[in-house]
Amino acid sequence: MSENKEIITTELSELGEFGLINKLTKDLKLINKQSIKGVGDDAAVLNYNSEQIVVTTDLLLEGVHFNLAYTPLMHLGYKAVTVNISDIAAMNAKPRQILVSFAVSNRFGLEAIEELYKGIHIACKDYGVDLVGGDTSSSVKGLFISITAIGGVEKENVVYRSGANVKDILCVTGDLGSAYMGLQLLERENKIYKSDPLIQPDLSGYDYLLQRQLRPQARVDIINYFKENGIVPTSMIDISDGLSSEAIHLSINSDKGCRIFEDKIPIADQTIELANEFGLEPLICALNGGEDYELLFSVKPSDFQKIKSNPDITAIGYFTEKEEGMNLEVSNGKIIPLNSQGWNAFLNP
- Does the pLDDT of residue 261 top 90, yes or no? yes
Instruction: Name the nearest CA neighbour of 234 among 340, 126, 307, 327.
Output: 307
Q: Name the residue with higher pLDDT: 67 or 42.
A: 67
**Sign of CA pseudo-dihedral 173, 129, 46, 227:** negative
| Report field, pTM of the whole predicted structure over 0.75 | yes
Burial of residue 5 (CB within 10 Å: 0-12, 13-18, 19+) is: exposed
State which amino acid sits at residue 213: Q
Instruction: Name the nearest CA neighbour of 91 among 219, 179, 259, 215.
Output: 219
- List of residues 6+ apart from 176 with CB closer than 8 A: 239, 243, 265, 266, 267, 285, 286, 287, 289, 292, 294
What DSSP letter does each residue of 251-290 carry, written as one string? HHHHT-EEEEEGGGS---HHHHHHHHHTT--HHHHHHH--
124 and 98 in contact (C-beta within 8 Å)? Answer: yes
Domain contains 56: yes
Phi-psi label, residue 89: left if phi above 0, alpha if psi -120 to 50, beta otherwise = alpha
The pLDDT of 261-282, averaged and rounded, is 97
Computed over every residue of the chain, the mean pLDDT equals: 90
- 116 shares a domain with 189: no
Domain contains 344: no
* Domain containing residue 70: CATH number: 3.30.1330.10
- 201 shares a domain with 305: yes
pLDDT confidence of residue 43: 57
- 200 shares a domain with 51: no
- 219 shares a domain with 136: no
Tell me the pLDDT tens digit for each residue of 4-53. 556 677 887 787 766 777 788 888 888 888 888 777 655 567 777 778 88
Instruction: Name the nearest CA neighbour of 303 among 87, 159, 90, 98.
Output: 159
Domain that holds residue 81: 12-157
- 149 shares a domain with 217: no
> End of a domain among 157, 182, 211?
157
Tell me the pLDDT tens digit for each residue of 166-191. 999 999 999 999 999 999 999 999 99
Domain contains 196: yes
- 183 shares a domain with 321: yes
The pLDDT of 292-321, averaged and rounded, is 96
pLDDT confidence of residue 78: 98
The pLDDT of 293-309, averaged and rounded, is 95
**DSSP symbol at 120:** H
Total Cβ atoms within 10 A of residue 141: 11
114 and 18 in contact (C-beta within 8 Å)? Answer: no
- 227 shares a domain with 124: no
> End of a domain among 136, 157, 178?
157
The pLDDT of 67-91, averaged and rounded, is 96
pLDDT confidence of residue 2: 45
- 208 shares a domain with 182: yes
State which amino acid sits at residue 191: K
- 257 shares a domain with 125: no
The pLDDT of 56-62, averaged and rounded, is 92
Domain contains 252: yes
The number of residues making up the chain comes to 349
Q: How many domains does the chain have?
A: 2
> End of a domain among 157, 192, 208?
157
- 252 shares a domain with 193: yes
- 148 shares a domain with 218: no
* Domain containing residue 288: CATH number: 3.90.650.10
Domain contains 343: no
Highest mean pLDDT among 27-31, 155-159, 194-198, 253-257: 253-257
pLDDT confidence of residue 340: 75
- What 3-state DSSP class applies to 169? strand
Domain contains 4: no
Domain contains 60: yes
Domain contains 346: no
pLDDT confidence of residue 32: 85
- 149 shares a domain with 193: no
**DSSP symbol at 324:** G
Tell me the pLDDT tens digit for each residue of 196-214. 888 887 788 899 999 999 9
